[in-house]
Amino acid sequence: MARTRRVGGKSKKVTVSTDAYGHTAGWAATDLEAALAVPPDSEAAAFFDVDNTMMQGASIYWFARGLAARKYLTTGDLARFAWQQARFRLLAREHAGDMSRAKATALAFVEGWRVDDMERLSEEIFDELMAERIWAGTRALAQLHLDAGQRVWLVSAAPVELGRVIAERLGLTGAVGTVAEVQDGAYTGRLVGDLMHGPAKADAILQLAKVEGLDLSRCTAYSDSSNDIPMLSIVGSAVAVNPDSALRAEARERGWEVRDFRTGRKAAKIALPTTAATVALASAVAAGVAMRRRRSRR
């Protein structure tokens, strides 16, 4: 369905479509009329955080749920993970030591896995558990950039293979994520570089801009978390999507746009895992896989 509206004195046709998963690429007409009017600009791009920005909850959590369904994890592993997530959210802070441990164990659970198996599992679990949790409003914002001829990347602490699957399923340009070391087609369990978190996201975008010839002053970044303030600060336009309290306050102070696609009820319920506690999931997954391996040897 297409509608014509006036933007800056000119008529502009806006298309509201439905994706392969049944989500509308647009949202309520009043929100659509207020959407960003993005001018065509080949040197511009948009960068979207994933967890609680593009998707309800954390992608790595839903990936873990999919692994549990396939007996890679137990329900006990998931329960411990959920408890630690709640604790991190209540504390609303991160410690350097936690991130240090996170880097050491973030992708330890994939040690020995084949890369093609990881990609297959990511595709299966996205289709089963993640597709229906994509925020229609955020997806529509991404589509506005695409329709304006701009490139759109996901930027997430999740494994880059998972990020690429999400980007591909949503028709986006690509993804930047945490990279696991690979030897002979299998993961070693070690990271290449840092977790794609906090300042590391900003660094990755700076490098991507150089490679792709982007003018960051013409780019836009979207996130829900105050952890992503470094990423939001290096672009010309920053948008707080479903923001936590710290980011909402920062956005108010800096004059950043705020978009909240949650209802009050949903906002209260969405206490699902966030990037802040990647170490908790890594520990749970590693423990689950270790238990599975021990059982298989008996």
DSSP 253-294: HHT-EEE----HHHHHH-----GGGHHHHHHHHHHHHHHHHH
Compute, in degrees rounded to 10, the torsion defined by CA atoms 109, 208, 163, 247. 90
In the chain, count H helices and then E strands. Answer: 12, 10
Residue 49 known to be catalytic: yes
Q: Measured at the alpha carbon of residue 23, what is the angle toward residues 222 and 13, in degrees to the nearest 5?
A: 75
Interatomic CA distance for residues 296 and 85, integer angstroms: 30
Interatomic CA distance for residues 30 and 136, integer angstroms: 14
Tokens of 247: 């980011």
19, 31, 41, 49: the catalytic one is 49
Where in 70-173 does DSSP place strands (E)? 151-159
19, 41, 51, 244: the catalytic one is 51
Interatomic CA distance for residues 134 and 24, integer angstroms: 10
68, 281 contact by CB (below 8 A): no
Residue 51 known to be catalytic: yes
DSSP 146-157: HHTT-EEEEEEE
Task: Please identify every residue annotated as catalytic.
Answer: 49, 51
